[in-house]
A and B are shown apart, each in its own frame.
Chain A
Amino acid sequence: MNDFKEFKEYELEGASNSYLMSVVFLTFALPLPLINLIATFVFYHANKKNSYFIKWHSIQALLSQASLFIINTMLFVWAVLLLFKVLTINNYFVSLGINVLLFNAWDFISTIYSAIKTRKGIHVKWFFYGLLTDKICSK
């Protein structure tokens, strides 16, 4: 929190947009995790030489999307193996599906919340991702 004292308008907008990038494709009915991950990565890449506030939040958004991509891919691969009857459907698969859905929903809510808060200049540090971003993001 101490790292972020005063922000310019473009910084607030940029930080807020870094979160919106990960959900913008949902509005086009394209809930594809890879596209969301690419979108946040492109946004981070474009802003990595920008202000620390924008860069920090674009990394946090990117990290959350990366972990979502991993769990969504787990479910996707399992589903493909089911289609080709390499694996059979069972309780663990359905539970994983519900779990992945819950994590996606939690990520979605957190993303919208963070987009609103950062737009107001409030620094939002997620559990685990915030600390990881601190380690990665250099001034």
Chain B
Amino acid sequence: MKKLVLQGFVLLVLFVGVWLGLSQINWMKLFKINTVIEEVPEKLGEMYWKFFQEHQVEVLDSTIVQPIDSLIKHICTSNGIDPTKIKLHILSVNEINAFSLPDRHLVIYTGLLNATKTEDQLCGVISHEIAHMERNHVMKKLIREIGLSTLLSSTTGGYNGEFILESAKILTSTAYDREWENEADLKAVQYLQNAHINVKGLSQILEVIAASDSDPSHSLTWLSSHPDTWERIRLIQKLGNGKNKNLTPILTDITWNKMKSSLNE
């Protein structure tokens, strides 16, 4: 019995010893692992954005892009997030939708910009999407829905337009899991409070979407497919209650109105 225990111990020490010994070598540097990890979302982001760019019209009007860019910068800097890493794209589509692509591409449809009545509401949507980016929900969702091996293959150019079209639908037309949506909501509320933006904006835009959801004439996607929208609105209202202090507008009324009128043009 003693011999058995001793041999078992030797085997265990051998395993741990080899492991610790090997860990003294800097494999991360040797295999350039960090570079490879960063490249996958980067390539996927590029691939999906290229697809949207080819199939939809991008809005480049500075009276529209710049104010939204200012909102993103304000939210990010108030929360210690690097705003330069977020790539904003506005697409001329009537659908009420905004979504994130891998590598922090934030796509907002003009339909959503038209639906927002105040900058707080727009900031609510932006904060929610930034929360998805920060929690890495975009990549997690793609891995879950498509599979890692398929995604990796797609970055090497092994897939055609059909594949990109189908997988892009996952990013644009379906909501995240309830757990992830709640997580993004909580994080968004935190971001808004840190940026001194009224949290009510997020619940208001959700209300607009939930109310319009029953109207088939509206083309909308942002969160509307989620069954618990009203429950989430109540939670956001509860979280924001009494905490909207030192609210500071980011854009001037002139800038906001100019953006809105440019959208109508």
Could you tell me which A residues sit within 8 Å of B by CB distance?
A: 71, 83-85, 89-92, 94-96, 98-99, 102-103, 127-128, 131-132, 135
Contacts and interface: CB of A to CB of B under 8 A. Distances in A.
Contacts of B50: none
Given A71-B15, A99-B15, A127-B11, A94 B140 contact: no
B28 A90 contact: yes
Given A99-B18, A103-B15, A89 B28 contact: yes
Interface string B1-32: 10110011011000100111011011110010
B57 interface: no
Contacts of B255: none
A36 to B, nearest CB: 19
Given A102-B18, A103-B15, A83 B23 contact: no
A95 B23 CA distance: 5
B7 A128 contact: yes
Q: Which 7 A-B pairs rank lowest in CB-CB distance, beginning with the nearest?
A: A95-B22, A94-B27, A95-B23, A128-B7, A131-B4, A99-B19, A85-B136
B143 A127 contact: no
Contact of B19 (A83, A89, A96, A127): A96
B33 interface: yes
Contact of A127 (B7, B34, B136): B7
User: From DSSP, what is the main secondary structure of chain A's interface residues?
Assistant: helix
A64 to B, nearest CB: 11
A91 B37 contact: no
A84 B7 CA distance: 37
A131 B7 contact: yes
B60 interface: no
Contacts of B139: 85
A95 B27 contact: yes
B10 A94 contact: no
B148 interface: yes
B7 to A, nearest CB: 4
Interface in B61-96: none
25 contacts: A71-B15, A83-B140, A83-B143, A83-B148, A84-B140, A85-B140, A89-B34, A89-B37, A91-B23, A91-B27, A94-B27, A94-B28, A95-B20, A95-B22, A95-B25, A96-B19, A99-B18, A102-B18, A103-B15, A127-B7, A127-B10, A131-B3, A131-B7, A132-B8, A135-B1
